A and B are shown apart, each in its own frame.
Chain A
Amino acid sequence: MTKNVLFKSLLFAASFIVLLICGGIVYALVSGSWEAFSQFGVFQFIFSSDWDPTIGNEHYGALSFIVGTLFTSFLALALCIPFSLPVSLFIGEYFKGKKIANFIGSVIDLLAGIPSIVYGLWGFYTFRGLMVDLHLSSEGFGILTSSVVLAIMIIPYATSLSAEFFKMVPNDLKEGAFSLGATQYDVIRKVSFPMTSSGVFASYILALGRALGETMAVTMLIGNTNLLPTSLTDTGNTMASIIANQFGEADGLKLSSLIAIGLLLFVITAIINLIGRFIMKKFAPTK
């Protein structure tokens, strides 16, 4: 009995560590951003798109970055899903266990191993030129460029886990459906998807999270103009990128503003997650 109790407390302790870490982060973010929020007022800071680091006239507002982050991350996820879902079906359903599935799976996993700074460099030296040649952008920087590279970066997160979940659908369930005359397509729609929807959705949330917090790659490709982007070809900036760009040299009010942006990113991620969970609850069949 005591072994069980010990074990269960270990499990609880593990979960509690997560809570502690989060608490620590929140505390650090809130205390760090106090100066900025008290100077500019919370609402003012969130909704102002003015970012002026001129000494003597400093004014900071987070709106351009908030819009930039949301724009690029959601666009990246939207670009990623039409490719990631087929691939996870390819690996997990159609060619499950076959060599070609292993090969493609390995290629995808390799992508996760490329450092984010290298994605930025590849984007800067190679992909930018491609964007200019395709007349999608004047210099190759901007929302669209960053979103595409972000999409590529998050493919492993969206794909690998989903593929695993598809693999885990019990064979006998599928065979039962087949014997009733279902096509593979039917089986995917009626058996595999419902079973794996929670996991697949969770992997997309994880992929989105990765996109929201991505720093290095975006910072090299987004153009770093601290203005509100109005179209795909515009340059802009994201929250993670401005923090990464300016943190090394920031002090005082500016540092506090950057930490405030970090806190806002934290909050926005939380809100997106809440909305995601709400959607899942609505559309998931009662298990």
Chain B
Amino acid sequence: MKMKKSNVLLIFAAAAMLISCSGKKSSNTEKIQGAGATFPLPYYTMAFKTYQDSTKTEVTYGGIGSGGGIRSLKDKVVDFAASDAFLSDEEMRSMPAVIHIPTCMGAVVLAYNLKGVSDLKLTGEIIADIYLGKITNWNDQRISSINPGVKLPNLKIVPAYRSDGSGTTFVFSDYLTKVSKDWASKVGAGKSLKWPTGIAAKGNPGVAGIISQTSGSIGYVGSEYAFAQNIAYAQLQNPAGKFIKPTLASISAAADAELPADTRTMITNSSNSKAYPISCFTWLILYKDQDYSNRSESQAKATMQLIDWMLSPAAQSLTTKVNYAPLPASVIENAKKQLSSINFGGKALHK
């Protein structure tokens, strides 16, 4: 019957076409692949696209989660991983030497839904107690005492949290662990936790969605998301006693403090009096010795050049455009120093 023959021909033609297409490698372009955190995904997609347009290097990035990114790096199927949480000492022992390069900063803001309340001040202890279920109503004396002049309604507080494992949860819980002994002993810090109370939702949009639809709700959201969506968020009291609104300036200020040389630190509850207390870095992680599993030197160079560009003024100025905070100069200097330690089988890699 005609069907079988023409069908078979079609299939072969299609297969031949596909195979021939796949053989066609784009001329002389290096291809770099990275995977990891969803928090910086909007910024990275934009930054990498800009880099791609101005150089001949193709950059692919998949927002599959920090854990997925690190796994991919361990399996050596990507050139770099992106993560909101730096690798612990134990994790670093299980793989060849890596370096962490911070690329930009963000923060976790406390968004809320209270009609008529445009300015809300909160402290870390209050937030911890809300999420522990100890403070259950908005007109609680502890909240009203730091918000003089604000009419707080008699309304149940509905805390929202992330159902998916997330770097944002990690940063938020790290902060709570620092400001509340109760939280530290009962829940602790981590990418996913055993939350005592509240509603769970998937991703930033999930939490933001709950907040926008539920009166009396409060939830933690990534700053880049909150800023872009014009959600109402609270001012937090930092260790210096000041109530700070999260802005790009107050986020960057959190990094202008004592930092270790390899930048592997959480900058929540920063000692800087101008800093917003729940700020964080996000890092790109790559192997120090780039000579592994048949990597070419040009590939290693291309990777290094990309990361170097991420620290350049061109890239850093892109951050503010999309509501991420740029790195302060001291951190950039530190990061560049680290980047220069990249080698290819012992041989130093130069631009």
Stretch at the interface among A167-175, A176-184, A197-205, A220-228: A220-228
Instruction: Say yes or no for A133: interface residue by CB 8 A criterion.
Output: no
| Those of B181-234 within 8 Å (CB) of chain A | 187-194, 199-202, 206, 209-210, 213-214
Interface string of B136-176 (1 = CB under 8 A from A): 00000000000000000000000000011111000000000
Contact-residue bracket for chain B: 20 to 34
In the assembled complex, how far is the CB of residue B144 from the closest CB belonging to chain A, in whole angstroms?
26
Q: Inside 8 A of B165's CB, which chain A residues have their CB?
A: 245-250
In the assembled complex, how far is the CB of residue B216 from the closest CB belonging to chain A, in whole angstroms?
12
Contacts A51-B194, A54-B193, A125-B209 hold; do A247 and B202 have CB atoms under 8 A apart? no
Instruction: Say yes or no for B66: interface residue by CB 8 A criterion.
Output: yes
The answer on a CB contact under 8 Å between A139 and B193 is no
Instruction: Say yes or no for A24: interface residue by CB 8 A criterion.
Output: no
The answer on a CB contact under 8 Å between A223 and B68 is no
The answer on a CB contact under 8 Å between B163 and A249 is no
Instruction: Say yes or no for B326: interface residue by CB 8 A criterion.
Output: no
The answer on a CB contact under 8 Å between A245 and B66 is no
Q: Inside 8 A of A124's CB, which chain B residues have their CB?
A: 206, 209
- Number of A residues contacting the other chain (C-beta, 8 Å)? 27
User: How far is B200's CA from A255's CA once the two chains are assembled, in angstroms?
Assistant: 21
Instruction: Say yes or no for A229: interface residue by CB 8 A criterion.
Output: no
User: How far is B200's CA from A55's CA once the two chains are assembled, in angstroms?
Assistant: 20
Instruction: Say yes or no for A82: interface residue by CB 8 A criterion.
Output: no
In the assembled complex, how far is the CB of residue B334 from the closest CB belonging to chain A, in whole angstroms?
27
In this complex, what residue of B is CB-closest to A58? B190
In this complex, what residue of B is CB-closest to A55? B190
| Those of A243-263 within 8 Å (CB) of chain B | 245-251, 255
Q: Inside 8 A of A245's CB, which chain B residues have their CB?
A: 163-165, 192, 202
Residue in B70, B209, B214 whose CB lies within 8 Å of A251: B70
The answer on a CB contact under 8 Å between B164 and A220 is no
Q: Inside 8 A of A53's CB, which chain B residues have their CB?
A: 190-194
In this complex, what residue of B is CB-closest to A241? B163
Instruction: Say yes or no for A127: interface residue by CB 8 A criterion.
Output: no
In the assembled complex, how far is the CB of residue B201 from the closest CB belonging to chain A, in whole angstroms?
8
In this complex, what residue of B is CB-closest to A216? B202
Residue in A54, A55, A219, A255 whose CB lies within 8 Å of B163: A219
The answer on a CB contact under 8 Å between B188 and A249 is no
Most buried by A among B163, B191, B199, B209: B163
User: How far is B189's CA from A220's CA once the two chains are assembled, in angstroms?
Assistant: 24
In this complex, what residue of A is CB-closest to B88? A55
Residue in A128, A235, A246 whose CB lies within 8 Å of B192: A246
Q: Inside 8 A of B71's CB, which chain A residues have their CB?
A: 251
Most buried by A among B38, B192, B209, B210: B192
Q: Inside 8 A of A248's CB, which chain B residues have their CB?
A: 38, 64-68, 164-165
In the assembled complex, how far is the CB of residue B337 from the closest CB belonging to chain A, in whole angstroms?
29
Q: Inside 8 A of B66's CB, which chain A residues have their CB?
A: 248-249
The answer on a CB contact under 8 Å between A52 and B166 is no
| Those of A186-240 within 8 Å (CB) of chain B | 219-220, 223-226, 235
User: How far is B201's CA from A224's CA once the two chains are assembled, in angstroms?
Assistant: 7
User: How far is B209's CA from A255's CA once the two chains are assembled, in angstroms?
Assistant: 29
Q: Inside 8 A of A219's CB, which chain B residues have their CB?
A: 163-164, 202
User: How far is B164's CA from A250's CA once the two chains are assembled, in angstroms?
Assistant: 10
| Those of B69-124 within 8 Å (CB) of chain A | 70-71, 91
Instruction: Say yes or no for A165: interface residue by CB 8 A criterion.
Output: no
User: How far is B163's CA from A235's CA once the two chains are assembled, in angstroms?
Assistant: 12
Residue in B163, B191, B214 whose CB lies within 8 Å of A139: B214
The answer on a CB contact under 8 Å between B67 and A223 is no
User: How far is B320's CA from A229's CA once the two chains are assembled, in angstroms?
Assistant: 45
Residue in B64, B167, B202, B209 whose CB lies within 8 Å of A224: B202
User: How far is B68's CA from A255's CA once the two chains are assembled, in angstroms?
Assistant: 11
In this complex, what residue of A is CB-closest to B38? A248
User: How far is B292's CA from A232's CA once the two chains are assembled, in angstroms?
Assistant: 53
Residue in A223, A246, A251 whose CB lies within 8 Å of B164: A246
Q: Inside 8 A of B206's CB, which chain A residues have their CB?
A: 124, 220
Q: Inside 8 A of B202's CB, which chain A residues have their CB?
A: 219-220, 224, 245
Contacts A245-B164, A249-B67 hold; do A129 and B199 have CB atoms under 8 A apart? no
The answer on a CB contact under 8 Å between A249 and B192 is yes
In the assembled complex, how far is the CB of residue B296 from the closest CB belonging to chain A, in whole angstroms?
30
Contacts A139-B210, A248-B67 hold; do A54 and B199 have CB atoms under 8 A apart? no
Residue in B164, B194, B209, B213 whose CB lies within 8 Å of A52: B194
Q: Inside 8 A of B67's CB, which chain A residues have their CB?
A: 247-251, 255
User: How far is B210's CA from A129's CA once the two chains are assembled, in angstroms?
Assistant: 11
Instruction: Say yes or no for A56: interface residue by CB 8 A criterion.
Output: yes
In the assembled complex, how far is the CB of residue A83 from the closest CB belonging to chain B, in whole angstroms?
28
- Interface CB pairs A-B, < 8 A, 11: A54-B188, A54-B190, A56-B188, A246-B165, A247-B67, A247-B165, A248-B165, A249-B164, A249-B165, A250-B67, A251-B71
Show the binding face of A for B, using Cβ within 8 Å.
51-56, 124-125, 128-129, 139, 141, 219-220, 223-226, 235, 245-251, 255
The 10 closest A-B pairs by CB, nearest first: A248-B65, A249-B165, A224-B163, A249-B67, A224-B200, A245-B164, A249-B191, A246-B165, A248-B68, A53-B192
Other contacts beyond A53-B193, A247-B65: 9, CB < 8 A: A54-B187, A55-B189, A224-B163, A245-B163, A245-B165, A246-B165, A248-B66, A249-B65, A249-B191
